[in-house]
A and B are shown apart, each in its own frame.
Chain A
Amino acid sequence: MDWRRIIATAILAVSTAVSAPAQQNLCDSEASFGRSDGTVFGRYCGVCHTISGKWNRIVRAPLGGLFERKQLVTGQPVNEETVRELIAKGGPSMMPGFQYTLTAGQINELVQFLKAARCPEQAPGSQQGR
């Protein structure tokens, strides 16, 4: 498996807004590295990640459809608990842990956002969403 895909599978983020219009806006604005919006994802995660995978970031694979994947970069299965732990503790290579930056509530919001995060072209089951 492509290492970038593995890393991407590991990382996360996003904010509280999960409505379809909000996601459309987020995916449209991903070109704005580090300043994509006022969401937790935009502020803390968008530096390295995108939902769309459209831009040539540190992690190139998209985060859209994360929970449809089989495993994280850590080798663990993808579920709320493992994703929450990865955000808090960081990944095995480049991702730092956000346990001292984000509150438990913010991390939970990110997990919930990632469960739904998907760009319009990333229909469930599509290749790009994987």
Chain B
Amino acid sequence: MDKQLELLQGTLDMLILKAASLGPLHGYGILLRIQQISKDRLEIQQGSLYPALYRLERRGWVEAEWGTSELGRRAKLYRLTDAGREQLAAEMLTWKRFAAGVSKVLFST
């Protein structure tokens, strides 16, 4: 599993929501969390991570507050809002159906 997979369009938001649902995290933490859970299989463009976070914040799915990072620096910590939780659940369901459908087509005998 050396090769990292490029993310499909539109899945980054979903992954961020999932990572943020596990507790308040700063941007870098979210990145690490995603890579860690995916066992480094997913490659995230760092240039797109923060704009995505700002967009999600604007839509009210995550909210941020200032806290302290592991290094003792001031860090902007993101956490999921209730609306974000609903959105995540909805996207997970859609993804499950989508993936099941695609697999069925691709791996049918």
Chain B associates with chain A: no
